[in-house]
Chains A and B, each alone.
Chain A
Amino acid sequence: MTAALEPRIIAPADAAGVAETLAACARDGAAVVAYGGSTLQSIGNAPRRCDVALHTRNICGVREYDPRDMTAGIDAGTTLAEIARVLGEHGQWIPFDAPQPARATVGGTLAAGWAGPRRAVYGRPRDLVIGSTIALTDGTLARAGGMVVKNVTGYDMSKLYVGSLGTLGLIVRANFKALPRPPVRRLAIAPIAGDQRDRAIASLGGLAIEPTAALVLDGFTRVARYPGAALRLVMLFEGSDAVVERGTRDVRSALGKAGIAETLLLDGAPADDAFAEVIDAYVEGAGERTLTYRTTGLPSTAWARTRTAQALANEHGLSAESIADLRTGDAILRFSARSVAAFAERIAAFDADVRRAFERSTVLAGGPQLRASIDAWGTEPSTIATMRAIKAHFDPAGVLAPGRYVGAI
């Protein structure tokens, strides 16, 4: 699974240094894995080899930011927290919605293709990238897009690089369209008793003010705490004071009619922090004896998928926790066993059941021993041959994170 020797750590001083490093690795046949803040390294398979760990920590900074244009060119190693700070001074933000923003880098977040619950309203990070520079294994730096918000000038290569997990090259800079940060943010947390759950979820269907995010948390009790409740509805409202006020009023009324009397409200920084903790929980706190999958699908099926997951867990003697994202259709499913050994002995059969139950499921996080025998990506997409050809054209030597990606790319 991992290289026998410790990888050599290289942290180039600039973009040209990254390109030179990649070219040298390609020439020497040295496998190279990119590192940002290491917050999402759990995504994808462990690379088959890692001879060089290429860190972006020396390539950071928000460059070319003009608040009046609401565009910013940002170097790969810049942390999401730093971006939030610089743009926040002008009332702007880029809603990355990713775990551990103090450590997570923009390059890593893009490479991992991260997209959180807020994408229902603001789009995925991919939708806010307007240009990029990537270092390639032939030693070149290739740009795409630009610093304008509308652009049909050649192929939209940034889309290809976002989510490619360092298997095609290394994104050294990305240009973004920034957004005005909503002035008011409020988090509503409502406990749901088991017999209320379907009615409560259905009651959210007709809201005139739609929440930015609407999640059903089952378990994950360390975040969005509510005394005594394992099942909670977590709704984030963002916008003007008037809109957030009306949104929360309407949702309380709708939930009240569904038999849910109490809703905890958090405003401003406490709301931001509590929601950030929920996002962190997607990949954190998993531990050795757990496995966390993300399944994607229609929003209307997210809740049902978490019920299916519960049934699967019961069949296999595991316990399940889940987050159903009612707006994006994501369902985060975390399965745990009493011991690593107990899980490990049935991992193959269990994983096969998960893949059968859900059309699209990928492993987000989990114990290394459990992950070693399963593929993170599940069923290969029908376009896998095209993807392999893309890989071969961008990384002919096969040195970029070999084996990490879909279809053993």
Chain B
Amino acid sequence: MVTSLASRLLEALGPDTVRTSPEDLAAYSYDAYSEGHLPSAAVIPRDVREAALAVRIAMNCGEPVVPRGAGSGLCGGAVPARGGLVVSMVRMNRILELDVRNRRARVQPGLINLDLSRAIATHGIFYAPDPSSQKVSTIGGNVGTNAGGPHCLSYGTTTNHVLGVEYVDGEGVIHHTSIDDPGYDLTGLLVGSEGTLGLVTAVDVRLMALPESVRVGVAAFPDVESASEAVSAIIAAGIVPTALEIMDKLITSAVEAHYHAGFPLDAGAVLLVEIAGPRDDMLAGEAAIKRIAHQHGAISWRAADDAAEREALWASRKGAAGALGRIAPNYYIQDACVPRTKLPQVIHQIERIAHDHDLAVGNVFHAGDGNLHPLLCFDRRDARAARAVVEAGTEILSTCIAMGGTISGEHGIGHEKRDALSLVFNTDDLAAMGRVRDVFDPHRLFNPDKIFPTGAICGEVRAPAAVA
């Protein structure tokens, strides 16, 4: 089968598009998750025609098709868990159409998120979803995981900014969807489906007008709990900032050592607040936020005076996970979401869980959305610590579910959390999702062993959990 797939692909698409050497296949065997699996072949199509042809050939061979963007996913979504064909979208990275007046664009899935906003900024517009990985992650990958980011507090997640997609089905046929089409909202189904329903080959995105004014401030708090209380109070006051981000002391010290953006090091937690909109609202908004922060125990408040200072603060926040390399050789980042008001309790529980497992934990999270990202620090050469990280991660997820939350806010389920999905949904819930899978992918060849729990749909083989 392996040689059959590779040779058919080579014959149809040529060696510049098809990769089959062991060293190339090794590169396509993993993403930012810890476990990998070798594919039989990889293709790097230049256009939708090549992509569709590759899908048809793989499906005809009965081989899985696994879409791949930048490979920055944290849950193994781009890992070819059952081998087969990896379709890397990196060459399909162009803006195909830009309609400034109507604020929309058609882009290819391999376009890097930040490159889109950079390319259109001169027109006074931007693409709102901004995952922290936006310097590397692609629009296609963002569509796969319905990616969020700090600014989805006010702008919404990827699904709120996708107007339609072009996708290739299991027979290699190209389809277009639009949220304006009559009929079922296939666009809404495809976003967040992690490549299990088809291969997305173009995305129609909604663009927004750049805000007239932006203000960023940093409040220092004695602890994460008080910062979280302030977040709830700000929102309860009817203010929806564009971002409300919390970093605890461990994270703050790591990012300060690297970026020197001027976050206070004596605080138990810092709250990064951004408001954006018409200039008329900025002063009142900032004053209200500052007042609420102080009412909830803030020990200091600093407003960024200019764009450079704002960008430095944001660069630090978005680089937080990477900066942790200064503290521990490895880290495991968890992604869960809880109702905002449960944050203080959940943070307290996370600290207890980490303590019980003798692990250091850093918390950096999208507080306004209740979207947590505890980072468990460890050294993978220490077998005890590696086991403890897995156990602690599972306990954290269970805690979040018990608090009315869920097991992924923006990273997706991928391979890593598929078995945890049944902690959230019962068999009736999963069966409804399975019907959709049956329609789009009856043979389970689009990104198999992802999202659905082992055995939930036909007898899938259990894979061991692991850590990053």
Residues of A bordering B, CB below 8 Å: 66-71, 91-92, 113, 123-124, 126-127, 134, 136, 140-144, 146-157, 159-160, 162-164, 168, 179-180, 183, 208-210, 239-240, 242-243, 246, 296-300, 329, 360, 362, 377-378, 380-384, 386-387, 389-390, 393-394, 405-407, 409
Contacts and interface: CB of A to CB of B under 8 A. Distances in A.
Contacts of A240: 280-281, 284
Nearest to A141: B428
B269 to A, nearest CB: 19
A362 B182 contact: yes
Contacts of B180: 296-297, 360
Given A68-B235, A70-B235, A382 B406 contact: no
A394 B405 CA distance: 28
Given A127-B160, A140-B428, A148-B339, 17 more contacts: A127-B156, A148-B371, A150-B152, A150-B366, A152-B192, A152-B413, A153-B407, A156-B192, A160-B185, A160-B189, A209-B278, A242-B278, A298-B104, A381-B177, A381-B183, A386-B439, A406-B182
B108 interface: no
Contacts of B238: 91-92, 180, 183
A329 B102 CA distance: 9
B433 A154 contact: yes
B436 A148 contact: no
Contact of B183 (A71, A297, A407): A407
Contacts of A150: 148, 152, 157, 337, 366, 369-371, 409-410
A408 to B, nearest CB: 12
Given A154-B433, A298-B99, A66 B182 contact: no
Contacts of A154: 413, 421, 424-425, 429-430, 433, 451
Contacts of A298: 99, 102, 104
B440 interface: yes
A142 B337 contact: no
Contact of A153 (B175, B240, B421): B421
B146 interface: yes
Nearest to B433: A155
A402 to B, nearest CB: 16
Contacts of B102: 298-300, 329
A72 to B, nearest CB: 11
B212 interface: yes
9 contacts: A146-B405, A150-B370, A153-B424, A183-B238, A242-B280, A383-B186, A386-B169, A386-B186, A390-B439
Interface in B410-451: 410-413, 421, 424-426, 428-433, 435-440, 451
A162 B431 CA distance: 19
Nearest to A113: B185
Contact of A149 (B369, B424, B433, B439): B369
Contacts of B432: 134, 136, 140, 142, 144, 157, 394
Contacts of B340: 68-70, 149
Interface of B: 99, 101-102, 104, 145-146, 148, 152, 156-157, 159-160, 169, 175-189, 191-193, 209, 212, 232, 235-236, 238-240, 277-278, 280-281, 284, 337-341, 366, 369-371, 404-413, 421, 424-426, 428-433, 435-440, 451
B280 A68 contact: no
A159 B366 contact: no
Contacts of A143: 425-426, 428-429
Nearest to A151: B406
Contact of B145 (A144, A149, A152): A152
Given A123-B160, A383-B175, A153 B406 contact: yes
Q: Which 9 pairs between the two chains have the least Cβ-Cβ distance? A: A159-B188, A242-B280, A142-B432, A150-B409, A406-B183, A140-B428, A180-B238, A148-B337, A393-B435
A143 B433 CA distance: 10
Contacts of A384: 183
A159 B185 contact: yes
Nearest to B153: A149
A286 to B, nearest CB: 20
A132 to B, nearest CB: 10
Nearest to A394: B435
Nearest to A362: B182
A131 to B, nearest CB: 9
B370 A148 contact: yes
Contacts of A140: 428, 431-432
Contacts of A66: 339, 341
B16 to A, nearest CB: 32
Question: In the complex, which of the residues B175, B183, B341, B411 has the most CB atoms of chain A within 10 Å of its own CB atom?
Answer: B183
B183 A153 contact: no
